Amino acid sequence: MLYLIPTPIGNLKDITLRALETLELVEGIICEDTRRTSQLLNHYQINKPLLVLNDYNEVGQLPKILSALTSGQNLALVSDAGTPLISDPGYKLVRECIAQNIPVDSLPGPSSVITALTLSGLPPDKFFFLGYPPEKPGKRVDFFKKLSTTYNLLPATYIMFVSPHKLLRVLEGMKEVLGDIEVVLAKELTKVYQSVQTKKISKWLEKLKSPKGEYILLFR
């Protein structure tokens, strides 16, 4: 069986008893970054073989993982932080498991998307998770134009991940298309320096000089 196991998004205490129990049970753990996963496993004194699965080696690793699963091994798939597959590798593996009738179980647990939404003060009744915005400026502007059309049809809270080195460009693109709207920026969730603040885009552009850390951006 393949187990999808959410891991803490910051505070290592935010892991369920069931997740720890399952990590102890499996024969191996599939992860994106052995350094990040080893920190968690060492903290809880869990020693298991690690197999790396990422966007660069997925084609080569899938047959090996599927072979282990079909031979009867129980494996866990974890993300660097949060719930696996959400803007992380693993979707193709789960799809192949389903196609080959390999059992898959997904454990509930931490999600930065839901944590940010509930802290934002924005309406949580309807929301769209947008992943990461497009890399190229032209495609990013087109993305926001389509988004503004969607919003007019179905108002909701929109949530996206933004890397620190792209944050200012994303905000500038949003301002160009959507206007100087208020956006919420959340970072360091569950950590000592957790921050969730709301400002107009122009104010964020004035304040942010060299952003650090991963951001979750929300707006309505």
The CA distance from 116 to 6, in Å, is 16
What CATH number is associated with residue 55? 3.40.1010.10
Any idea which residue has 């979707």 for tokens?
91
Which tens digit of pLDDT belongs to each residue from 13-23? Answer: 999 999 999 99
8 A C-beta contact, residue 87 and residue 80: no
Domain match, 101 and 117 both: no
20: tokens are: 């720890």
pLDDT of the residue at 55: 83
Last residue in a domain, options 83, 106, 129: 106
pLDDT of the residue at 198: 98
86: tokens are: 């959400």
Last residue in a domain, options 49, 73, 106: 106
Domain match, 117 and 213 both: yes
Residue that wins the pLDDT comparison between 31 and 137: 31
Domain match, 77 and 133 both: no
Q: Which domain holds residue 175?
A: 112-219
pLDDT of the residue at 58: 85
pLDDT of the residue at 59: 84
Domain match, 127 and 188 both: yes
Domain match, 55 and 92 both: yes
Last residue in a domain, options 54, 89, 106: 106
pLDDT of the residue at 48: 97
pLDDT of the residue at 117: 98
Domain match, 96 and 122 both: no
Domain match, 41 and 90 both: yes
Domain match, 117 and 215 both: yes
Domain match, 97 and 161 both: no
Domain match, 28 and 71 both: yes
8 A C-beta contact, residue 23 and residue 1: no
Domain match, 72 and 156 both: no
Which tens digit of pLDDT belongs to each residue from 121-145? Answer: 999 999 999 999 998 989 999 999 9
What CATH number is associated with residue 127? 3.30.950.10
Domain match, 122 and 83 both: no
Query: Which residues are within 8 A (CB) of 217 and not within 5 positions of it... i.e. 6 or more apart?
Result: 159, 160, 161, 162, 167, 170, 183, 184, 185, 186
Range in 61-70, 77-86, 145-154 the model is least confident about: 145-154
Which tens digit of pLDDT belongs to each residue from 174-206? Answer: 999 999 999 999 999 999 999 999 999 999 999
Task: Say yes or no to pLDDT of 172 above 90.
Answer: yes
Task: Say yes or no to pLDDT of 39 above 90.
Answer: yes
Number of domains in the chain: 2
